[in-house]
Chains A and B, each alone.
Chain A
Amino acid sequence: MSMLSKTIALATGALIVAATLNAPVQAQDATGQQLYPLFTYRTGPYAPSFIPFGAGNIDYLRYVNEVEGGVNGVKILVQECETAYTIERGIECYERYKNGFNGALTAAVYPHSSGLDVALTDKARADKIPIVSPGGGQNIATDGRVFPYQFPLIFDYWSEAQIIVDYIAQQVGGYEKLKGVKIATLYHDSGYGRDTIEPLGILSKKYGFEDIQIPVPHPGEQQQAQWQQIRRAGADWVFLRGWGVMTPVAIKTAARVGFPADRIIGDIWSGSEDDARPAGVAAKGYLAVSVFPPGTDYGIIKTLKEKIVDQGKSDLKDNSKFGTVYYNYGVIEAITFVEALRTGQQKFGNRPLTAEEGQWALENLNIDQKRIIELGAEGLISPLKTTIDNHKGETIAAKIIQWNGESWNTRTDWIKADSTLFADVIKAKAAAYAAEKGITPREAASN
């Protein structure tokens, strides 16, 4: 045997021994714990968004486990699964963890991707696993009678369109002054981006503003033609529905054609520090919708700083990301998970919940103002109450934030969307979906 062969054989042997030694650790019994399958995308083009988001998620759950002793004594077991923001790998992760892990039960899955949320619709229905997508779910799934296992919690793009129009109305002096105002929507040409075309069409008819829709192909690294269209159309406002690199390119191209940044309102996925900062001075004054307000002055965020970050226990490698939009988003999402567990435990007892129990809990969430204050999340989240009829939450609200060149400033208080405005359209769409798929909608009384 040559020297090289011996070395390879030794290395292989060492690896096998190491793997064997490691095996019992991986197989450690986790019975009595609640599984939180954390779908990550630490690699790929969207990693910059996930890393602070994931840290917010993990830090809050770590705080609940280590400082509060778990959810009524039930510890949360976080198991990461890398999707690289691809649907195929996301489905693999779902399959891996849908039935729990080493005895820890799965109560819900947060896919962290609108595309994956859609892709899991039929599987989740068959497996009876709740799929939760705060801020990024399917609006049609608001109707829990037809979609018992989908939870598009907190926000949706139709409400966002309403909030944008509401804000612009405030700026121009009222809804009656919207007549003749030109609002261009520059959207990522994907299911997500196209989702506001219909509500803006409805709102345009209602208020009389001119609705201009301009698509940008993925990934959006070249937008000169689109911004020339906007300038030529004489748009007064631009609603920017970007994702990833599309947002900073849009802001810079807007500056190049002379469109003012303070007349561009980014959507919730165009409103992070990583969206505005790369655009440099061109982004000063840029506005965005925020459901996950940035900042470090909120009670729970201060507590996380003291109990987790300052103790060296944070998942953040770069502490400058603490309190950013995506970090706070991660915290908010983790709050919804923990509060769902508390809700479920009130009915089923202080133990890990099954998926079926998790579904009930998510359908009966009630994070009211009193609870928000107890959580130290005042100003960070708006009240969230779900029912069988409404899997999103009864109060949908967002703030408008503005980039000052270095960080975001909050420009408005919560702007609430009128939940009745599109309710009939959404119900009709859900009914059509049910008819197409042969689904018999549940009755609200079955809750």
Chain B
Amino acid sequence: MAYFFETLIAGLFAGLMYGLVAIGFVLIYKASGVFNFAQGAMVFLAALVFVTLVEHGIHFWVAFAATSALMVLTAVAIEALVLRPLRNRDPLTLFMATLGLSFVIDGATQFFLGTDVHMLDVGIDDIADDYGGLFISRFDIIASLIVIALVAVLAIVFSKTRMGVSLRAVADDTLAAQSIGIRLPVIWRIVWSVAGIVALVAGLLWGARQGVQYSLSLVTLKALPVLIIGGFSSIPGAITGGLFVGAGEALADIYLGPLVGGSVSTWFAYILAVAFLLVRPAGLFGDRDIERV
């Protein structure tokens, strides 16, 4: 039984990390109704800039601040060069734009910073401690605390601040929000900046575990089933979806994998997502579209 719980707990921790990536998508989706395909590329960009600065002797927190600033500048540039010219276009056009953007960010990042694999030490030991027979990684615990803290900060910002209320207004009805003076470009810049900083945190945690390299861009693939399960427009949904996917795939790999003679976690997450789509198309916490006919 301890083995089951150990697997479950490890899966839940992994799920929180998936949820962290998914939050970046949710932020942008809430503000613009766009699935930002470039979020994975932003994770890669942020992590590679950060690790390059640290390798050049820059202090951890200075590097963190500098990378955050770069992500804000990137957000401003994306708003001016990609989103603004496409304002009022349908979401599919914006989605295609983010698809192109992901190639631009990936290519530019590798062009300027190289393709090498970098080791990233964030100062958290990745060793397991014994908790009454359950071995749990210290890194997992601290990473989870960071994710929970980040979600709490975002929840406060979006519910208690003027900017948060504006964002919710835009998410509810873009035209109505604009009619009462909320400036859409400003909201987009802010949201993309916050998504960029979330990408930095995700990049650091994932990069510390697997090394900073191009494959960080591919974490997008893990976020998709998480978003389908949790809903595209809910931060708690992203976390809950992440927990479902993390725990589900860990347990499936252990108990279902041997029965089918191969690894199942890749497709199991999508099977889980399809099952949710059939029952709750908007996901667990997503907004249901209600149209008057």
Contact = CB atoms under 8 A, between A and B. Distances in A.
Interface of A: 42-45, 47-48, 51, 189, 215-219, 221-222, 224-226, 228-229, 232, 244-245, 248-249, 252, 255-258, 274, 277-280, 282, 317-318
Interface in B118-154: 118-121, 126-128, 135, 137, 139
A221 B266 contact: no
Contacts of A252: 126, 209-210
B114 interface: yes
B213 A245 contact: yes
B250 A45 contact: no
16 contacts: A48-B116, A219-B215, A222-B249, A224-B10, A224-B11, A224-B14, A224-B250, A225-B253, A226-B253, A244-B215, A255-B126, A256-B127, A277-B117, A278-B117, A279-B211, A280-B119
Interface string B210-235: 11111100110010000000000000
Contacts of B14: 222, 224
Contacts of A48: 115-117, 213-214
A318 B114 contact: yes
B195 to A, nearest CB: 21
B11 A221 contact: no
Given A216-B263, A277-B117, A245 B11 contact: no
B285 interface: no
Q: Which of B128, B210, B249 is the most central at the interface, judged by chain A CB atoms within 10 Å of its CB?
A: B210
Interface size class of B (residues with CB under 8 A): 35 or more
B3 interface: yes
B262 A249 contact: no
Contacts of B254: 225, 228-229
A215 B110 contact: no
Interface string B239-259: 000000000011101100100
Nearest to B206: A221
Interface in B58-88: none
B215 A248 contact: no
Contacts of A226: 253
Q: 3 closest Cβ contacts across the A-B interface?
A: A278-B211, A215-B263, A47-B115
Interface in B96-112: 107, 110
A278 B213 contact: yes
A317 B113 CA distance: 12
B3 A232 contact: yes
Contacts of A217: 263-266
Interface in B1-46: 3, 6-7, 10-11, 13-14
A189 B262 contact: yes
Contacts of B7: 224-225, 228
Contacts of B219: 221
A420 B214 CA distance: 42
Q: Which of B206, B215, B257 is the most central at the interface, judged by chain A CB atoms within 10 Å of its CB?
A: B215
B128 A258 contact: yes
Nearest to A277: B119
Contacts of A221: 206, 209-210, 215, 218-219, 222
Nearest to B6: A228
Nearest to B254: A225
Nearest to A187: B263
Nearest to A51: B115
A215 B115 contact: no
A318 B116 CA distance: 10
A282 B251 CA distance: 26
A45 B217 CA distance: 9
Contacts of A256: 126-128, 137, 139
A42 B215 CA distance: 14
Contacts of B128: 256-258
B73 to A, nearest CB: 25
Contacts of A317: 114
A225 B250 contact: yes
A215 B115 CA distance: 27
Given A47-B115, A221-B210, A215 B10 contact: no
Contacts of A51: 115
Nearest to B268: A217
Contacts of A255: 126-127
